[in-house]
Amino acid sequence: MLKATLLRAVESAGKVLKENIDRSFTISNKEGINNLVTEVDHKSEEVIFSVIKESFPDHYILSEESGEIVQDSSYKWIIDPIDGTVNYANGIPICCVSIGIEKDGKMVLGAVYNPFLNELFFAERGEGATLNEKKIQVSNHADLIKSCMVTGFPYTYLDMPNGPLQVFEKFIRKGIPVRRLGSAAIDLCWVAAGRFDGFYEHKLNAWDSAAGFIIVEEAGGKVTDLKGEYYNPYQPGIIATNGKIHDELIRVVNGGNL
């Protein structure tokens, strides 16, 4: 029932995204230039909440727009009603609904749905990862220098050693393709599907990565923080790869040369 409710939630919210992308809607700004929230973010969130509360009214919820709905429950739903809001606000169909579910502090289910590409990624702990119900797995590329990478940049620049721009420069100066799609959840899912070999980002929130990171792990990939330690979605940095380039990517992100 938990899986069915999760899938119904992302699919229902995805329908809201698809129905409203070509309509006029209000857009406002959060902290940082171009850190947008739209009327549709809130509509999507309302639909998700409705689906969850119908089946699990006592579950804890953490959502990007509404924050925490605290309940005394071992289950927590971590929700991004639109991941890639800037894309969505500009009519760019690289955006999605992302929902992860924790049980007793451990991610057990994740679903990411892009209704515009009709791609539904799903993973359950110990059961593998799927794209539209077909098993997926990470790539086999073993050389970072020959990899296809993806990253994102924070809305406020992080003035830190080996920050986003410095790491990005290292890659592009070596001719390594590094894409920026504007949706961390999709970035992670595309690593899981073998489209990218690795993803790194310096500053994310839990709702950006909660679903995607279990999908990468269940597709055979590896996910850690920027130092290579156990990944916790409540801290900002992430490295997710096919596993074969992981150590080398950690070294470069932390100041090493290619």
Task: Look up 26 and say whether it is catalytic.
Answer: no
| Catalytic position from the list 64, 124, 187, 197 | 64
Residue 108: strand, helix, or coil = strand
User: Which residue ranges does the chain devote to CATH 3.40.190.80?
Assistant: 144-253
Of 204, 167, 51, 172, give the one whose Cα is nearest residue 113.
51
Considering the segment(s) 2-135 as one domain, its CATH architecture is 2-Layer Sandwich (3.30)
Residue 93 has a pLDDT of 95
Q: Which of 48, 82, 101, 176 is catalytic?
A: 82
Q: List, for the chain, all residue ranges whose pLDDT scores fall below the cut of 70.
A: 23-25, 27-37
- Residue 77 phi/psi, 5° resolution? -95, 125
Q: 200-251: per-residue pLDDT in tens?
A: 999 999 999 999 999 999 999 999 999 999 999 999 999 999 999 999 999 9
**CATH 3.40.50.720, applies to 144-253:** no
80 catalytically annotated = yes
Instruction: Say which of 85, 130, 151, 224 is annotated catalytic.
Output: 85
pLDDT for position 21: 85
Rounded to 5°, the CA angle 107-82-119 comes to 75
Active-site annotation holds for 247: no
64 is catalytic: yes
- The pTM of this model reads 0.94
Residues of the chain within CATH 3.30.540.10 domain(s) are 2-135
So what's the pLDDT on residue 24?
Answer: 62
